[in-house]
Amino acid sequence: MKRLTTIIAAIAMLSGATYAVAELADNYTSYKPTDKANPLDEVISGYEFRIKSTQETQDDDFENPAMLTLDVGLEEWETAAGSEGKSCADCHGDDPMESMKGVGSTYPKFTEEGDHRAFRNIENQINFCRTERMGADALKYDKPEMLGLTIAVRHADRGEPMNVAVDGDAAPFFEQGKDMYYTRYGQLGLSCAHCHEENYGNYIRADHLSQGQTNGFPLYRMKWQGVGSTHRRFSGCMKNIRAVPFSKGEDEFLALELYTSWRGNGLPVETPAVRN
């Protein structure tokens, strides 16, 4: 308790933040961790930490602003590009909601295609297909086309449980991500765990701290007034603690994405979610 009080006092002093204990709604939904090694006793989606009006916005596909980015992705899915003149639909079928079922909930992971073998998240897999199969330029992180395609792949698994594998070839990335999760970064000397493991359920200023689950990404964030990726959120967290962020799509954030996704294994995919 003394250590926790010291951390909170330090954050308040350096950033002007104030904390207050909050309560989740009585009827919140939680899940048992699928792996007994998970440090959490119960796994809770960030949805449960949002106010009712935000939840209602996510629940209504006509009100959810991220659905407009999904439309961009569905158009991009059918658009031929590159020297091969191919589209995503040419290889994967016209409807990603059918062909991508069972895919989005399993990333990031190792994929192997011929001589190409690497650990990838959905965004990196999309760019691999573009550069190696379509002869097209890679899409940039957090641009509408990339966000839209990533949402399309994840949205196909909406309601299905997160199910990332952390054994075999993925194990080194898992261990790296775990180490990063508990490492202090930045001038504030904070780790992911300080907020999302030790203090979830508390308020920092007006924000209700969640477990930092990734089951809703890419998602619409009100602070951004737009849609963003998991790695954009990681980058924002690092800036908040006055640390220099790692590069989106590179090994460090891929490892952290794997570890945080594993912590939420069993949570239903909500992509595209709505958050503060």
pLDDT tens digit sequence for 203-256: 987 789 999 999 999 999 999 999 999 999 999 999 999 999 999 999 999 999
In the chain, what is the straight-line distance between the N-terminal and C-terminal CA atoms, in Å?
Answer: 28
Element containing residue 13 per DSSP (H, E): helix 2-15
pLDDT digits (tens, 9 = 90+) for 31-89: 999 999 999 999 999 999 999 999 999 999 999 999 999 999 999 999 999 999 999 99
| Domains in the chain with CATH codes | 1-276 (1.10.760.10)
Catalytic residues: 237
Instruction: Provide mean pLDDT across the span 101-122.
Output: 91
Which residues are CB-neighbours of 59 under 8 A, at least 6 positions away? Answer: none
pTM to 2 decimals?
0.91
CA dist 228 and 164 (Å) reads: 21
